[in-house]
Amino acid sequence: MIVLDDVAFGYSRKKPLYAGLNLTLRPGSVYGLLGPNGAGKSTLLRLLSGLLYPQRGQIRVGERVPGDRQPAFLEELFLVPEEFYLPPVRIRQFVESNARFYPGFSHEQMNHYLREFGLADTQKLNELSYGQKKKVLIGFGLATNTALLLMDEPTNGLDIPSKSQFRRLVAGAVDERRTVVISTHQVRDLEALIDPVIILAERDSRMTVALQASVEEITARLWFGMLPTLDTHRPILFSERAVGGYAVVAENPTGEPSRLDLERLFNAVQADPARIRTLFASSSTVAVL
């Protein structure tokens, strides 16, 4: 289990990014980390990986503190960053040089992922496109079989067929001991994959967790759908014009079933995070703010 307890961090002492951040992540899930630009999604992944250190509070991944960067922690962590450098070597050389740091690495899985992505291990990394390089890193990260896998905007640079492959491969690589956290603003790309959902929003000039809930909990408390007009008794949290009326996110006191719209959920949270917090206050997984 991963626990962030009263974490504070900022790149400037005069302007903290996080203050009093609390979050609990459990294995066996693909968490979607959503937030506006500048919300600190990449920063949060770096804090989890020990590349940054909290200025206050504590982060624990299992029994270990990420900032200690102990070998036993590092061999169970892999981060796919949004921006990266890969050396001018063949894929096979890259894999052979780096796989030894991960005891659970599977060469069989890596070869499978390369085939799925249409790559050969004889190709040189410096001759690949950005999207192809991203596929190599994604495949390598999945093949490490680490207990914690962090991905920062993994679908950037992928074409539509590759995004579908990505969703399928990640879903197949999650087991009861593995925690996957995906930071993204491409919510449509990952709508069918991520569960639970974590959404960051601003509060008192600092970023905090405005919502952490499973898809089941979200659709139990909120209704997503179309209305011909906004003249309704249904309490609406967010609406936008659409063909044939209005696409809305509304409170759902009767538990009427609907299909989650992740993009509109994100907009509803940003529009009124306090109301969302109140609606999900009884949820066992919502963060305490």
Same-domain pairing of 166 and 55: yes
List, for residues 236-283, the tens digit of each pLDDT value: 999 999 998 999 999 999 999 999 999 999 999 999 999 999 999 865
Q: Assign residue 42 the CATH number of its domain.
A: 3.40.50.300
In a domain, 27, yes or no: yes
In a domain, 209, yes or no: no
Q: Is the pLDDT of residue 288 over 60?
A: no
List, for residues 42-69, the tens digit of each pLDDT value: 999 999 999 999 999 999 999 999 999 9
In a domain, 234, yes or no: yes
In a domain, 274, yes or no: yes
Residue 5 CA to residue 24 CA, distance in Å, equals 9
- DSSP assignment of 67-125 equals GG--HHHHTTEEEE-SS----SSBHHHHHHHHHTT-TT--HHHHHHHHHHTT--TTSBG
pLDDT averaged over every residue in the chain: 93
Q: What is the pLDDT of residue 287?
A: 40
Q: Which helix (H) or strand (E) holds 150?
A: strand 148-152
In a domain, 205, yes or no: no
Same-domain pairing of 107 and 162: yes
19 within 8 A of 8, measured Cβ to Cβ: yes
Q: Is the pLDDT of residue 36 over 50?
A: yes
Number of independent structural domains in the chain: 2
Q: What is the pLDDT of residue 186?
A: 84
Same-domain pairing of 116 and 162: yes
* One-letter amino acid for residue 220 of the chain: A
50 within 8 A of 43, measured Cβ to Cβ: no
The residues, any chain, with a CB within 8 Å of residue 210's CB and separated by 6 or more, are 199, 200, 201, 203, 269, 273, 276, 277, 289
Residue 127 CA to residue 143 CA, distance in Å, equals 23
Q: Is the pLDDT of residue 168 over 50?
A: yes
Q: What is the DSSP letter of 218?
A: H
Confidence band (pLDDT; 50, 70, 90) for 10? very high
Same-domain pairing of 89 and 226: no
Same-domain pairing of 69 and 161: yes
Q: What is the pLDDT of residue 231?
A: 76
Same-domain pairing of 147 and 237: no
Q: What is the pLDDT of residue 69?
A: 94
Q: What is the pLDDT of residue 289?
A: 34
Which phi and psi angles does 262 have, rounded to 5°?
-65, -35
Same-domain pairing of 154 and 242: no
Q: What is the pLDDT of residue 283?
A: 52
Domain limits for position 233: 214-279
Same-domain pairing of 168 and 238: no
Same-domain pairing of 243 and 150: no
Q: What is the pLDDT of residue 282?
A: 61
List, for residues 97-148, the tens digit of each pLDDT value: 999 999 999 999 999 999 999 999 999 999 999 999 999 999 999 999 999 9
Q: Is the pLDDT of residue 284 over 50?
A: no
Residue 64 CA to residue 72 CA, distance in Å, equals 9
In a domain, 28, yes or no: yes
Q: Is the pLDDT of residue 16 over 90?
A: no
Burial of 34 by CB count in 10 Å (0-12 exposed, 13-18 middle, 19+ buried)? buried
In a domain, 204, yes or no: no
Half-sphere exposure of 227 (CA within 13 A, CB side): 16
In a domain, 206, yes or no: no
